[in-house]
């Protein structure tokens, strides 16, 4: 009697803890529509944590499609949780899928497609400097969405910029490749792709690296460079002043207000900038292009006043000119003469404007 009691006591836990059978899992899948179910290992695995206990069983199953004679297979892990003294199916972890009789592309085919459009492969990854070691991931997780579309995981190491001043990082990442055909023919090649980061895995930082900041060769940068060169050339033509020189300043270059003053300081870092002590207003720093020595013609002269030219006007002369005859005088230089009209000159003002004018509207030191 005692032996029978102990035998029953030992048998009850074994019955209670017994995992779902392959037959039970097969029946579940077939009730969902599977045509065939295969298992490739003797048994599944039990996982126990502080809060749960569950059983995983890997199975492959065959399914109909909406196309006659075309079938798909899928490989998934089926999970059963233990609760209330019994095992209950809770979820499916998808792994791979494929069409029966249609092989997955080889690694060579996948890499050829990736290299044909590497920018699409790295879509969303940032500004890539270099890459290496693209290959199929250890677990490619093939998935066929249709006869014209399939995807898989690849592994790649690449260097991506983290800022514009020379910092980058070298990382290893799993990237999903979505590939597309133009035809449902099983022998047709994949011709397009889109790459995305695999959201089920984390990128691994290998190291932080530096990259050489390249000179900006964009049209805007070239324009800025040209503009800077022209400005530098123009600055070389500005008058140079000495301490205590008496000057007249065209205030803010607007051609409206002119003030007399004296040079007190030179800027140690900008040779075309001077500190001016004014007779009437507060002293301040002024750029050379707005300054003329006091012995030049008055900057507030109007077109009705007598023009006092010091010799013949010639290309390159620094002058002040009466802008469009309005009585507003601005600094500039002569950059051309009219070959047909002896007394006509092209003035390029310090602010960049240009106009043709005559000698009676031009003043020269």
Contacts of 44 (CB under 8 A, 6+ apart): 19, 55, 56, 57, 58
Q: Tens digit of pLDDT for each residue in 220-279?
A: 555 555 666 666 666 666 778 888 888 888 766 655 677 888 999 887 767 788 888 887
* pTM score: 0.52
Residue 289 to residue 273: CA distance in whole angstroms: 9
| From 21-30, 96-105, 301-310, the region with the lowest mean pLDDT | 301-310
Question: The tokens of 50 are what?
Answer: 């502080």
Residue carrying structure tokens 């409206």: 256
Are 22 and 80 in contact by the 8 Å Cβ rule? The answer is no
Residue 271 to residue 236: CA distance in whole angstroms: 10
Residue 23 to residue 15: CA distance in whole angstroms: 16
Q: Tens digit of pLDDT for each residue in 32-53?
A: 999 999 998 888 999 999 999 9
Residue 108 to residue 336: CA distance in whole angstroms: 66
Instruction: Using DSSP bridges, classify how beta strands 36-38 and 45-48 pair: parallel, antiparallel or unpaired.
Output: unpaired
pLDDT at 108: 94
- Give the start-to-end residue ranges of the domains of the chain: 19-99, 107-210, 234-293, 296-365
The CATH number given to 234-293 is 2.30.30.30
> Assign residue 144 a region: left if phi > 0, alpha if psi is -120 to 50, beta otherwise?
beta
Radius of gyration, CA atoms only, the chain: 42
Mean pLDDT throughout 166-170?
90
Q: Does 234-293 match 296-365 in CATH topology?
A: yes
Mean pLDDT throughout 178-205?
90
Are 78 and 89 in contact by the 8 Å Cβ rule? The answer is yes
Overall fold of domain 296-365: SH3 type barrels. (2.30.30)
Choice between 292 and 78, residue whose per-residue pLDDT is larger: 78
pLDDT at 151: 94
CA 325 vs CA 181, 330, 357, 358: distances in Å: 72, 11, 9, 10
């Amino acid at each position: 009697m005692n032996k029978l009691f102990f035998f029953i006591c030992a048998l009850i836990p074994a019955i209670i803890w017994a995992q779902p059978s392959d037959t039970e899992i097969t029946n579940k899948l077939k009730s969902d529509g599977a045509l065939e179910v295969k298992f490739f290992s003797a048994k599944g695995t039990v996982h126990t944590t502080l809060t749960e206990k569950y059983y995983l069983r890997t199975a492959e199953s065959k399914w109909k499609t909406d196309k006659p004679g075309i079938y798909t297979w899928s490989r998934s892990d089926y999970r059963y949780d233990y609760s209330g003294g019994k095992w209950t199916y809770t979820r499916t972890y998808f792994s791979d899928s494929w069409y029966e009789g249609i092989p997955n592309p080889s690694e060579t085919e996948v890499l050829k497609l990736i290299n044909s459009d590497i920018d699409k492969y790295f879509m969303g990854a940032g500004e890539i400097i270099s890459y290496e070691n693209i290959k199929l991931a250890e677990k490619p997780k093939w998935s066929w969405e249709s006869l014209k579309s399939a995807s898989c995981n690849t592994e790649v190491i690449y260097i991506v910029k983290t800022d514009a001043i020379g910092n980058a990082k070298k990382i290893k990442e799993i990237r999903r490749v979505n590939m597309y055909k133009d035809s449902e023919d099983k022998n047709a090649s994949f011709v397009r792709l889109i790459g995305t980061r695999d959201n089920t895995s984390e990128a691994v930082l290998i190291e932080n690296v530096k990259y050489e900041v390249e000179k900006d060769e964009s049209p805007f940068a070239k324009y800025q460079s040209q503009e800077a060169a022209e400005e530098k050339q123009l600055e070389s033509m500005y008058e140079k002043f000495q301490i205590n020189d008496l000057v007249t300043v065209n205030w803010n270059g607007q051609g409206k207000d002119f003030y007399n003053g004296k040079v007190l300081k030179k800027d140690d870092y900008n040779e075309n900038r001077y500190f001016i002590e004014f007779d009437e207003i507060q002293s301040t720093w002024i750029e050379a292009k707005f300054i003329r020595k006091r012995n030049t013609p008055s900057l507030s002269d109007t077109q009705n006043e007598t023009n006092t030219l010091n010799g013949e006007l010639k290309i390159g002369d620094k002058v002040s000119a009466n802008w469009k005859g309005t009585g507003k005088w601005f600094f500039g230089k002569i950059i051309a003469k009219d070959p047909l009209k002896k007394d006509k000159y092209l003035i390029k003002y310090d602010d960049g404007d240009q106009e043709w004018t005559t000698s009676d509207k031009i003043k020269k030191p």
